[in-house]
Structure 1
Amino acid sequence: MSTDFPLHFEKVSTKKVSEFIREQLEEAIILKELMSGEQLPSERELAEIFNASRITVREALAELESKGLIQKRVGAKGGTFIQPVTANSHKRTAEEIKRDWEQMLMVFEYRKIIEPEGAFLAAERITAGELELLQNYLDQSLEPECTREWFRALDVKFHLAIAKASGNPYLESAVRHIRTKINPALDLMPYNEEVRKINYEVHTEILTALKAHDSIKSREVMRRHTGFSAEAIYERVVAAD
């Protein structure tokens, strides 16, 4: 029998259970569904949630701690707490992004296909409640007490909410995957009044198109917005040297 088999299959991966747990927790932290300062459930509780042993959970937490995503504290008010991802991102990701920029470019290419089409569908299917939620995220982003960490969280929530409004769970899952890849790079972007103003204006333009149920406009603005993000990251992180 010939060994020149025409198909190319992936080799078997022996992913450990602890890695599976770590990936889920890391995604929730990077997508800011678990926010800075929040306390994780105890090892025993996490073991029940994931239907795994406490030793396995401990391995996953150790990996997250080594990445600077969580911190274990001892004492009366001890526990495992989420670290401020945005504030610490420059310590962890700048060199990684430079090194893997070709890979990141492919993610941004993927994003420029997926998110605009998600906005196109969302404009047709979005509900009044979802529009109200998006407006609420925008309003919060302009509040004087909006911290850098919360501002970045609101940006993620805005984009994920649009993906969910598309009504397509496969598209929503794709956007979650994309944001998990690019959020560490976006967290390196500056935070000031000008940035907040620009972000508010473009998000308002997207929301206005969604409110009008204008699919073409929604897709157009989202494509321009996602393209600008890639250029901004390149200028700040990759070309900075």
Structure 2
Amino acid sequence: MFNPFSFRFEKVSTKKVSEFIREQLEEAIILKELMSEEQLPSERDLAEMFDVSRITVREALSALEDKGLIEKRVGAKGGSFVLPLTANSHKRTREEIKRDWAHMLKVFEYRTIIEPEAAFLAAERITAGELELLYDYMKQSIEPDCTREWFRALDVKFHLTIAKASGNPYCERAVRQIRTKINPALDLMPYNEQIRSVNYEVHMEILEALKSRDSMNSRETMKRHIEFSADAIYARLVSESEEKERNEV
């Protein structure tokens, strides 16, 4: 006999419209689709874009300002401007990362499933234009004047482009969600020539596998890259914090 209560329903969300708007803008900022010092559309324009009232937009912008993602400026050239995430990374402390590490591990576990498979598909389906984009991102990443913020943006663009090249919109959306979760931790990582060199080498390895249409190598190289990234974050933000606590006891 069918039991209507043998499965769990998802509870009804009471999320306000302003929170939906805030989430979309926050994702664009975290994924660096809206860059540092870029001015957001006016409240009136955003209200038209989202088909909501200006009061609702104002609530969303205030929430973003409270999180240190944007800054409201007054004057003739005033408005809401995106703040540099890497420069404000101190607001996302190591203690927060450590506290949420169990959840972060689940995200990385999910990532090791999704991104390697997206790379596998991309090796079969990537276009010449997408390959050209990836090579351009790599070239920019090793330019002497590449800032920390732009370096992080290029890293995101590299991974999102591969996800899009998979030709599967579900893979693409999953990678966007994953990057939204892990980017705050990645933004806390150091930035120097060694980091740039290691990043360039592994990304080029992935890129060459994609160019060769080598699906298996694309998958395996992406998987190693993701596992290394998770270990690096743990070593930098969690393990060091635990070691410091032991030394202070």
- TM-score interval for Structure 1 and Structure 2 normalised by the shorter chain: over 0.9
1:163 is the counterpart of 2:163: yes
Partner of 2:198: 198
Q: Cα offset for 1:65? A: 0.1
Identity %: 77
> Within 1, Cα distance between the matches of 2:59 and 2:14?
16
TM-score by length of 2: 0.94
> Within 2, Cα distance between the matches of 1:185 and 1:116?
20
| Structure 1 unaligned spans of 5+ | none
Partner of 1:212: 212
Partner of 1:180: 180
> Within 2, Cα distance between the matches of 1:215 and 1:125?
10
1:62 is the counterpart of 2:62: yes
Q: Counterpart of 2:144 in 1: which secondary structure?
A: coil
Q: Counterpart of 1:225 in 2: which secondary structure?
A: helix
Q: Cα offset for 1:96? A: 1.9
| Structure 2 unaligned spans of 5+ | 242-249
Partner of 2:21: 21
Cα pair 1:97 1:185 within 8 Å, conserved: yes
User: Which residues of 2 match residues 30-179 of structure 1 at below 5 A?
Assistant: 30-179=30-179
Post-superposition CA distance 1:189-233 (Å, at most 9, x none): 110000000000000000000000000000000000000110000
Q: Counterpart of 1:85 in 2: which secondary structure?
A: coil
> Within 1, Cα distance between the matches of 2:197 and 2:87?
20
What letter is aligned with 1:196? R
> Within 1, Cα distance between the matches of 2:162 and 2:174?
12
> Within 2, Cα distance between the matches of 1:119 and 1:141?
20
Post-superposition CA distance 1:162-210 (Å, at most 9, x none): 0000000000000000000000001111100000000000000000000
What letter is aligned with 1:115? E
TM-score by length of 1: 0.97
Q: Cα offset for 1:4? A: 8.7
Q: Counterpart of 2:81 in 1: which secondary structure?
A: strand
Cα pair 1:93 1:184 within 8 Å, conserved: no
What letter is aligned with 1:100? D
> Within 2, Cα distance between the matches of 1:114 and 1:4?
33
Aligned length: 240
> Within 2, Cα distance between the matches of 1:51 and 1:129?
35
Q: Cα offset for 1:92? A: 2.2
What letter is aligned with 1:194? Q
> Within 2, Cα distance between the matches of 1:222 and 1:210?
11
RMSD over aligned CA atoms reads 1.3
